[in-house]
Amino acid sequence: MAEYSGIGWTEATWNPWYGCTKISPGCKFCYMYRDMQRYGKDPFTVQLSKTTFRAPLKWIEPRMVFTCSWSDFFIEEADSWRQQAWEVIFSTPHTYQILTKRPWLINDRLPSFWSAIKHRVWLGVSVETPQYLGRVIELRGVDAQIRFISFEPLLEQMPEPLNFDGISWAIIGGESGSDRQCEVRWITSLVDDCRHSNVPVFVKQDSGAKPGQQGRIPDEYWIHEFPVVV
């Protein structure tokens, strides 16, 4: 959608389609629903984007691309368009960061040329509470070079120590724009687990009206790391 992005852990966003359905607590205050309603669009209907579907083909310099920030790349309603989206990925030099809440759908929706592009496609799952750690188990069953977890919005304390086997990266962040607070200890314990497991971690924000500006998180935990791609 945007050739450049203000999201700290990526460089651009791309939405080949938009619209989604809420399936877990992390979806409650999703910015996509708010923004689409502001633009007079139905956020609950998955629709092909006629203006941005092929946008990455126009970007000359390789960059990291957060894919489907206004939807879920693996959502069933996009099945008829996904093959063409994979072809856009195949035809460009970018690295695509695909984050899903539906990891059980991934394996049946990978393209026949997956082996040729998997080094440029990072696959991740959102885990907002311990109830959804099963998504990580599903992700481990996918043949991916980079698997990552986004603990955002982080709504509860995660079990300690957390198992990061097969995971290459973690993103941690509280929720902005709502009164659901993220406790500092939830963030710091996850960072400690990542350090123990040698997993790079990107701490995006705490929570509140202006995330990251409360000064609540100790400086040594404001870490912006990325996975090592071989």
- pLDDT tops 90 at residue 173: yes
Q: What is the mean pLDDT of residues 8-36?
A: 95
Q: What is the mean pLDDT of the chain?
A: 93
Greater confidence, 205 or 155? Answer: 155
- pLDDT tops 70 at residue 213: no
DSSP assignment letter at 39: T
**Confidence grade of residue 217 (pLDDT, cut at 50, 70, 90):** confident
Instruction: Please say whether the dihedral angle defined by the alpha carbons of residues 20, 5, 56 and 90, taken in this order, is positive or negative.
Output: negative
- Output the pLDDT for position 214: 53
Q: Amino acid letter at 190?
A: L
- Output the pLDDT for position 215: 56
**Confidence grade of residue 167 (pLDDT, cut at 50, 70, 90):** very high
Q: What percent of the chain is modeled with pLDDT above 90? A: 83
Cβ pair 125, 101 in contact under 8 A:
yes
Cα–Cα distance list, 10 to 21, 48, 55, 165 (Å)? 24, 23, 16, 24
Q: What is the pLDDT of residues 103-149, one digit of tens each?
A: 999 999 999 999 999 999 999 999 999 999 999 999 999 999 999 99
Q: Residue 168's closest CA among 229, 77, 120?
A: 229
H or E stretch covering 146: strand 146-151
Q: What is the mean pLDDT of residues 179-196?
A: 94
Q: What is the pLDDT of residues 85-97, one digit of tens each?
A: 999 999 999 999 9
Query: 132 forms bridges with which residues in the sheet?
Result: none
Ranking 135-139, 175-179, 204-208, 213-217 by mean pLDDT, the lowest is 213-217
Q: What is the mean pLDDT of residues 47-52?
A: 95
Q: What is the mean pLDDT of residues 69-90?
A: 98
